[in-house]
Structure 1
């Protein structure tokens, strides 16, 4: 018989080596993600979008940056498998599959802006570590403007692609009500893009946006002015998530934000009081399971990590700290029932991260 202790040690060593390989892969992914964030921010992917092989000097000239930095950046992404590099190591090509993801904001597969969330979130590690120790929370203004700028970029893309031509038509009668003239509100309105798009399409209606962060309020007001719809849209800074709602509204929107509220159940009760009898709440929330052991894999790790650095700190002082994965359908359904609302009806799943619900008065 073999020595079981030696055998177990060998298995432990193999598992440790495998864990080390995984850790090295994750370190590589972190550097590749940072490189993608730089590439999106500086226009380096755009300089490679046509699929032509280019030198670092050529890429730098097109993007208006320094070529020595570009060469190191390009070799990082070539090492990570994102760029093709010629044998000399001096010319680089962005393959079409990666171009659709990283270089073409008009592509339905474009995800380049997501990478830009990582640097500002990483910059919050020290502040969040202090929150771990104290149990305190943070406010929206504690986070770098770059994080909100990345969020504006991402949300504008999918709102322009989906809100008017996909989501609104999924709700029976909503387009007709807005065309005839109705009131609508957007909680945590962010950049104001949703309000601007709706106001431009439905000039007879009036729209209200509320947000807790002055940076978002300023951006929303600029967006609304640029769309030429300031005469029918107001944006107000509020202290709490659902402050400022008066109603009655035919439409209330909350997109990827209810889990950031200190008390999501109280928000739903407030919405129920302000919805018109025929009104609808369009709620975009994280697609997840009630069972934590089912929320695993790369997408779940990204969402939990973002929640640790952002969602939990923003809601830590409230009675319910949902986190980004804390409002799965059964939990939402219970909150809606208590608030006098219907069971959330799933009408779309626009991304691997999200589910869109319509909710009405019970």
Structure 2
């Protein structure tokens, strides 16, 4: 039986539920601090060294990473307490299990997480501006964020694009064959160009254009293309989603950015004008159910939280300020896409964290 007591209020407090909420708060407090320490572990090569050379004592890890043992010792204990590092009490050594390494040390893994920690730690730096925006309703543009937000976004999403992108394109109606023979592709909201470059690598007979309104991201994307050896068939341009140039594209892609746009209906109308007759628009969005109560999950919390910090403020900073939000769901996405003139819209693929939509004329 649950007991309750009065605590300075007319309604009784359920002690068991109160205790559960306090425990949840403690977990969240630890996670908040842990995010900053995970970024340190990533940037100083602590995870990578543990994976390559562990098990190690704190002194051995400090020596190999040219860091100070006393800091490393405390860091290791915090990581072990959080389950990110494994501790062997008999030898006083620390190591990564294969699963821990897959998440923390393998940058090609589709579940690589340090980029996500880098992203969320940096995006929260706009706290004072966001508080003011809550009062005024003004927006905060993507370009106003700390530089680490852009790099964290690339490192967070890039590996999953590498793992799933070709399957997603393969789920579209006839697009894969068209691109293999030579097609025209535009990746809208390309950021640092991770999916754009992956598409260029997979379809060497096609031409690819990546566009983003953020000039600094486009400059990085051009460097990435040179490094990847695909600069001869992928071009990056500064443009908005409502104004990019070109026509008769066989494929228009948008990866986790459509919900950030101020005028998604106007963007849909522009995409419609630039598609070829049999072209397809692929929209990748964070996984979300049409019912809010079904999104009250750990992933849903992450989605709503990042949407509050970055996605919705970015949309509200632009013309129209639709504020679609990162947990937009299939029904709302269909509504704005068909509002822009598309007549066919379907869910083509999905993962536990992504929804992949296909829109056609």
TM-score (norm 1): 0.89
* Unaligned 5+ runs, structure 2: none
Partner of 1:306: 306
Confirm whether residue 325 of structure 1 aligns to residue 315 of structure 2.
Answer: no
Is the partner of 1:207 in helix, strand or coil? strand
Q: 2:115 touches 2:154 (CA, 8 Å); kept in 1? A: no
Deviations 1:39-64 (A, max 9, x none): 22322111111583211222223334
Confirm whether residue 284 of structure 1 aligns to residue 252 of structure 2.
Answer: no
Q: How many residues align?
A: 355
Confirm whether residue 59 of structure 1 aligns to residue 61 of structure 2.
Answer: yes
Counterpart CA distance in 2 for 1:204 and 1:96 is 38
Is the partner of 1:48 in helix, strand or coil? helix
Alpha-carbon RMSD across the aligned residues, in angstroms, is 2.5
Q: How does 1:344-355 map to 2 (within 5 A)?
A: 344-350=345-351, 352-355=352-355
Confirm whether residue 129 of structure 1 aligns to residue 131 of structure 2.
Answer: yes
Q: How does 1:121-270 map to 2 (within 5 A)?
A: 121-164=123-166, 166-238=167-239, 240-270=240-270
Partner of 2:97: 95
* Unaligned 5+ runs, structure 1: none
- Greater alpha carbon shift after TM alignment, 259-268 vs 102-111: 102-111
Post-superposition offset of 1:312: 1.2
Deviations 1:95-123 (A, max 9, x none): 33322222223444433322221210222
Counterpart CA distance in 1 for 2:192 and 2:102 is 25
Cα distance change on mapping 1:64 and 1:247 into 2, 3 Å: farther
Post-superposition offset of 1:234: 2.0
Partner of 1:38: 40
Post-superposition offset of 1:5: 7.4
Is the partner of 2:18 in helix, strand or coil? helix
Q: 1:83 touches 1:93 (CA, 8 Å); kept in 2? A: yes
Counterpart CA distance in 2 for 1:70 and 1:269 is 54
Cα distance change on mapping 1:53 and 1:250 into 2, 3 Å: same
Deviations 1:171-210 (A, max 9, x none): 2432332233221101001111222232233333222111
Is the partner of 1:355 in helix, strand or coil? strand
- Greater alpha carbon shift after TM alignment, 31-40 vs 315-324: 31-40
Post-superposition offset of 1:262: 0.3
Counterpart CA distance in 1 for 2:5 and 2:196 is 66
Deviations 1:111-162 (A, max 9, x none): 3322221210222212211211222111222111111111111232122222
Confirm whether residue 275 of structure 1 aligns to residue 275 of structure 2.
Answer: yes
Q: 1:346 touches 1:357 (CA, 8 Å); kept in 2? A: yes
Q: 2:264 touches 2:337 (CA, 8 Å); kept in 1? A: no
Is the partner of 1:313 in helix, strand or coil? helix
Cα distance change on mapping 1:50 and 1:136 into 2, 3 Å: same
Counterpart CA distance in 1 for 2:213 and 2:105 is 32
Partner of 2:28: 26
Cα distance change on mapping 1:313 and 1:338 into 2, 3 Å: closer
Post-superposition offset of 1:26: 1.4
Counterpart CA distance in 1 for 2:74 and 2:5 is 47
Post-superposition offset of 1:263: 0.9
Q: 2:221 touches 2:236 (CA, 8 Å); kept in 1? A: yes
- Greater alpha carbon shift after TM alignment, 305-314 vs 175-184: 175-184
Counterpart CA distance in 2 for 1:258 and 1:151 is 15
Runs of 4+ in structure 1 displaced over 6 angstroms? 4-10
Cα distance change on mapping 1:204 and 1:31 into 2, 3 Å: same
Partner of 1:73: 75
Is the partner of 1:245 in helix, strand or coil? coil
Post-superposition offset of 1:315: 0.8
- Greater alpha carbon shift after TM alignment, 148-157 vs 253-262: 148-157
